[in-house]
Amino acid sequence: RIVSVHLKAMPMETKERVRQSMEIANDLKSNKDLPSVVLGDFNSFTVDQSKQAANDVDLILQKFQTADPGFQRAEHVLPYTY
């Protein structure tokens, strides 16, 4: 299963991006039998930009890992990309 996302933009919308991520994660959790790839525009921001307790990528990843502890983030060298 391929899931394409385009989460809410703007640095002050972290809570909405996390909420959207949780909805997606819950949907994925409902059918763990299918391998899944989640990709797209996560509109992630750093702590300095969003003024949240953690970087968006970490907050979003936590939500996906709550639904599936095996969920992993693909590492890469590009900054500000999830």
Look up tokens 């996390």; give the residue: 18
| Encoded amino acid at 66, one letter | T
Residue range 3-10: average pLDDT? 95
- Asked if 35 contacts 73 with a C-beta cutoff of 8 angstroms, the reply is no
How many residues are present in the chain?
Answer: 82
* Residue 36: closest CA among 49, 45, 26, 47: 26
Taking the CB of residue 8, how many other CB atoms lie within 10 A of it? 15
Residue-wise pLDDT tens digits, 18-62: 999 999 999 998 888 888 899 999 998 989 999 999 999 999 999
Confidence check: pLDDT of 79 > 80: no
User: What is this structure's pTM?
Assistant: 0.85
